[in-house]
Amino acid sequence: MKTKMNTHAQQLNDWLRVALLAFTVLCSSAVSAQDAAKRAEVPSIKVGDRWKYEQSDRRTGVKDAEFDRRVTAVTASQIEGTENDSKLLMTPELSVMESSTSVVSGEAKALSFPLEVGKKWAYKTSFVNKVSGNKGRWELEATVVAFENVKVPAGEFDAFKVAYKGFWNNDTTRRNGRLVLANWYAPATRSVVKTEYDDGFNNWVRQLVEFQIQP
Judgement on whether residues 145 and 174 belong to the same structural domain of the protein? yes
34 vs 208: CA distance, rounded Å: 26
Please tell me the predicted confidence (pLDDT) of residue 147. Answer: 98
Domain that holds residue 3: 1-37
pLDDT computed for residue 108 by the predictor: 86
Q: What is the mean pLDDT of each run of 10 residues along the chain (215 residues)?
A: 52 50 40 58 98 97 97 97 97 97 93 98 96 95 98 98 97 96 98 98 97 97
Cα distance between residue 82 and residue 90, in whole Å: 10
- Full DSSP string of 36-53: HHT-BPPP---TT-EEEE
pLDDT given at position 4: 52
On whether the CB atoms of residues 206 and 55 are closer than 8 A, the answer is yes
Amino acid code (one letter) for 56: S
Residue 74 lies in a domain: no
Number of domains composing the chain: 2
Query: Is there a single domain that holds both residue 19 and residue 58?
Result: no
Asked whether residue 145 falls in the same domain as residue 190, the answer is: yes
